[in-house]
């Protein structure tokens, strides 16, 4: 097996192990949110938690648009991984 093929296989394995996991957006910490949602770094994750603390639990995924820097693309990438209860 060539070095190129080994690198390709390792890339596939690493990508599969980094897959986002389903999280409860109303219970998760900023670290959990940043670690499990695509396109959400720690700053946006902290903004999500702050918004939740100020306004109560999220009831609908579209509420995330109210957070600066989160738009339809980010929501569509993550909607299958976000739970509310």
User: pLDDT tens digits, residue range 35-83?
Assistant: 999 999 999 999 999 999 999 999 999 999 999 999 999 999 999 999 9
CB 39 within 8 A of CB 33: no
Q: What is the CATH number of the domain that holds 64?
A: 1.10.150.280
Q: Within a domain: residue 7? A: no
Question: How far is residue 33's CA from residue 28's CA, in Å, rounded to a whole number?
Answer: 6
In the three-class reduction of DSSP (H, G, I as helix; E, B as strand; rest coil), residue 23 is classed as strand
pLDDT at 74: 95
As a whole number of angstroms, the distance between CA 67 and CA 51 comes to 7
Is 13 part of a structural domain of the chain? no
Query: Domain containing 63: what range?
Result: 22-83
pLDDT at position 21 over 60: yes
Q: Looking at 14-23, 28-37, 47-56, which range is the least confident one?
A: 14-23
**Domain count for the chain:** 1
- Whether 4 is covered by a domain: the verdict is no
Question: Does residue 62 belong to any structural domain of this protein?
Answer: yes
pLDDT of residue 9: 54
């Amino acid at each position: 097996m060539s070095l190129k093929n080994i690198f390709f296989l390792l890339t596939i394995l690493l990508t599969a192990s980094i897959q986002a996991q389903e999280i409860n957006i109303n219970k998760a910490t900023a670290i959990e949110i940043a670690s499990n949602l695509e396109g959400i770094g720690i700053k946006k994750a902290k903004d999500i938690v702050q918004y939740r603390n100020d306004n109560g639990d999220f009831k609908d995924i579209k509420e995330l648009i109210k957070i600066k820097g989160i738009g339809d693309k980010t929501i569509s990438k993550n909607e299958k991984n976000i739970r509310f209860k």
